Amino acid sequence: AQKVTQAQTEISVVEKEDVTLDCVYETRDTTYYLFWYKQPPSGELVFLIRRNSFDEQNEISGRYSWNFQKSTSSFNFTITASQVVDSAVYFCALSEAGQAGTALIFGKGTTLSVSS
C-alpha cells in the first residue's frame, strides 16, 4: 500500500538557518510522482514541485532544493537561509501513475516556524 511519512511534526528555526524537511514514501509501483505543497497560515495549498520516479536529478529553485533518492525512498526538501515567510505547514505527497482515480496520498505535514 502507498504511504507517505513525514516524521518531523514541528520544526523551529531562526531566520537564515538552513532546514531540511524529511519525506519517506512507500509504493509498489515503478511509476509514480512525488510532490511538495506549502500551506501558509492563510490555508491555501501552494504547489512547490512535482518529481516523477524516473527522474532522480536533484532540483534547486532559489532557496529551495529537493533531494530525491529512490534507494532510500526519500524525497527531502531543504530551505536554505530560511525566512519568516517560509513559516507554514509543508506536505509531501505521492501519486501512483496509471491508475484510474489515483488520489494524492499525503503525509501528515511538517509545521515549520521561522523566527526572526
CA 100 from chain center: how many Å? 24
Is 95 an interacting residue with respect to another protein (CB under 8 A)? yes
Q: Hey, is 70 helix, strand or coil?
A: helix
**CB closer to another protein, 80 vs 111:** 111
Separation of alpha carbons 94 and 28, rounded Å: 12
Is 3 an interacting residue with respect to another protein (CB under 8 A)? no
**CB closer to another protein, 17 vs 106:** 106
Residue type for position 22 = D
**CB closer to another protein, 28 vs 71:** 28
**CB closer to another protein, 37 vs 77:** 37
Q: Are strands 64-69 and 74-79 parallel, antiparallel or unpaired?
A: antiparallel
Cell of 14: 531562526
Q: Which of 16, 63, 103, 115 binds another protein (CB under 8 A)?
A: 103
Is 24 an interacting residue with respect to another protein (CB under 8 A)? no
Is 106 an interacting residue with respect to another protein (CB under 8 A)? yes
Which residues of the shown chain bind another protein in the complex (CB under 8 A)? 4, 33, 35, 37, 43-45, 47, 50, 91, 93, 95, 97, 100-104, 106-109
